[in-house]
Structure 1
Amino acid sequence: MLFGFSDDQLAIQRKYLAIGEEIADAAAASPEGFDFDGWRRLRDEGLWRLIVPTGALDADWWTFTAALDGLSSSIRTPELLLSVIAQAGMVRALERHGNPAQKDRYLDAILRGDVSATCIAEPTTGTDVRSIETSLTEVPGGYRLNGTKFNIAHAPIMDFALVVCRLHGKEQCNIELALLDRKTAGLSIGQVDDKLGNRNLPTGEIHFHDVEVPHERVLGKPGHGLSTLIDIISLGRLYYGLVAANLIRPYLVDAMNYAATRTSFKSQIDSHQYVQRRLVDLRIGMERSRWLAYGALSQLLTDHPEGLMMSSIAKLVGAEDLIANATNLMKLYGSLGYHNGRVAELMKNALGFASVGGTEEMHRKNIFNQMKRLAG
Structure 2
Amino acid sequence: MTTTSAPARRPRPLPTGPAWTEEAIDLLKLVRHLAAAELAPRVEEYEAEAAFPRDLLRTLGRAGLLGLPYPQEYGGGGQPYEVYLTVLETLAQQWLGVAQSVNIHVLSCYGLAAFGTDEQRAAWLPDMLGGELLGANCVSEAEAGSDISALRTTAVLREGGYAVNGVKSWVSHAGAADYYNVFCRTGGDGVRGLSLLLAPAGTPGIRPQALERKMGVRSSPTAQIVFDGAEIPEERRIGRPGKGFLIAMGLFDRGRLGIAACAVGLAQAALDYAVAYAKTRQQFGKAIITFQGLGFLLADMATQVAAARSLLLDAARRLDAGEPVSAAAAQAKLFATDTAMRVTTDAVQVLGGYGYVTDHPTERWMREAKLLQLIEGTNQIQRLVISTSL
The answer on whether the counterparts of 1:145 and 1:213 sit within 8 Å (CA) in structure 2 is yes
The equivalent of 1:269 in structure 2 is 288
The answer on whether the counterparts of 1:133 and 1:166 sit within 8 Å (CA) in structure 2 is yes
1:189-268 paired onto structure 2 within 5 Å: 189-268=208-287
Greater Cα shift, 316-325 or 20-29: 20-29
Of 157, 160, 163, the residue aligned with 2:179 is 160
TM-score normalised by the chain length of structure 1: 0.91
1:362-373 paired onto structure 2 within 5 Å: 362-371=381-390
Give the drift of 1:331: 0.9
The equivalent of 1:134 in structure 2 is 153
Q: Summarize the Cα distance change of 1:271–1:170 in structure 2 as closer, same or farther, 3 Å threshold.
A: closer
Question: Is residue 2:379 matched to residue 1:360?
Answer: yes
Give the drift of 1:91: 2.6
Question: Is residue 2:93 matched to residue 1:78?
Answer: no
What's the CA shift string for 1:53-84, capped at 9, x where partnerless?
A: 243987323443443343334x1x31110111
Q: Summarize the Cα distance change of 1:29–1:360 in structure 2 as closer, same or farther, 3 Å threshold.
A: closer
The answer on whether the counterparts of 2:92 and 2:98 sit within 8 Å (CA) in structure 1 is no
Letter in 1 for 2:87: A
Q: Summarize the Cα distance change of 1:171–1:323 in structure 2 as closer, same or farther, 3 Å threshold.
A: closer
Give the drift of 1:313: 1.2
The equivalent of 1:282 in structure 2 is 301
SS at match of 1:145: strand
Q: Summarize the Cα distance change of 1:211–1:349 in structure 2 as closer, same or farther, 3 Å threshold.
A: same
Letter in 1 for 2:280: T
Structure-1 separation of matches of 2:132 and 2:75:
20
The answer on whether the counterparts of 2:187 and 2:194 sit within 8 Å (CA) in structure 1 is no
The answer on whether the counterparts of 2:270 and 2:343 sit within 8 Å (CA) in structure 1 is no
Identity level (%): 24
The answer on whether the counterparts of 2:153 and 2:167 sit within 8 Å (CA) in structure 1 is yes
Letter in 2 for 1:166: R
Question: Is residue 2:353 matched to residue 1:335?
Answer: yes
Give the drift of 1:228: 1.4
Give the drift of 1:240: 1.1
SS at match of 2:207: strand
Letter in 2 for 1:90: S
Structure-2 separation of matches of 1:313 and 1:226:
21
Report the aligned-residue RMSD: 2.2
Letter in 2 for 1:10: I
Greater Cα shift, 91-100 or 144-153: 91-100
The answer on whether the counterparts of 1:2 and 1:298 sit within 8 Å (CA) in structure 2 is no
The answer on whether the counterparts of 2:271 and 2:343 sit within 8 Å (CA) in structure 1 is no
The equivalent of 1:17 in structure 2 is 32
Matched length: 368
Question: Is residue 2:50 matched to residue 1:35?
Answer: no
Of 326, 345, 367, the residue aligned with 2:364 is 345
Structure-2 separation of matches of 1:233 and 1:171:
18
Q: Summarize the Cα distance change of 1:101–1:2 in structure 2 as closer, same or farther, 3 Å threshold.
A: same
The answer on whether the counterparts of 1:17 and 1:72 sit within 8 Å (CA) in structure 2 is no
Q: Which consecutive residues of structure 2, in runs of 5 or more, have no partner in the other structure?
A: 1-15
Q: Summarize the Cα distance change of 1:133–1:20 in structure 2 as closer, same or farther, 3 Å threshold.
A: same
Give the drift of 1:168: 4.1
1:38-49 paired onto structure 2 within 5 Å: 38-48=56-66
Structure-1 separation of matches of 2:198 and 2:17:
34
